[in-house]
Amino acid sequence: MSDYTQFETLIPVRPDDIDMNQHVHNSRYYDYVLAARYDQMERCYGMSMKAFIERGFSWFVRSAYIEHKRPLHLDDVAVVNTCIEEIQSRGAKVWFEIHKQSDNKIAAKGWIDYSMVSVETGRPQLIPDDIVEKYSI
């Protein structure tokens, strides 16, 4: 269990997300999590991706893990929950779980380990205290 708050974002499946297997293409699950994080950064943590970039910071995916449980289909709405699992000096590990809105069953879950980098140099940066604080909810 994480010490941090879990937030939720709804992502409607688009027809262009469906692949030849008639379900949401595997790699799009990461795009759903990404969309959820961008939404939650602005709406829940009070610091949008734009605000990060204006301060010269960006997030780089160091590693990621996903388990697929059940496919999402056309007309489904993905309910994406994420929460901080761990804040490190130069990064953060984010846990996620994707449910199908219609029956609340798990579609996929996993985590993404991000490094906070300088936009200019691409190198990992110490996360400033005020940002650590914003994320410590």
Neighbouring residues of 23: CB distance < 8 A, sequence distance ≥ 6: 71, 72, 73
> Are the beta carbons of 129 and 122 closer than 8 angstroms?
no
Residue 93 binding a second copy, by CB under 8 A:
no
| Min dist. Cβ of residue 91 to a second copy (A) | 12
Compare residues 5 and 26 and give the one whose CB is closer to a second copy: 26
Of the candidate residues 2, 3, 54, 60, the single one contacting a second copy (CB under 8 A): 60
| Min dist. Cβ of residue 80 to a second copy (A) | 12
Residue 95 binding a second copy, by CB under 8 A:
no
Q: Which residues bind a second copy (CB under 8 A)?
A: 11-12, 14-16, 18-22, 25-28, 30-31, 34-35, 38, 42, 48-50, 58, 60-68, 74-75, 110
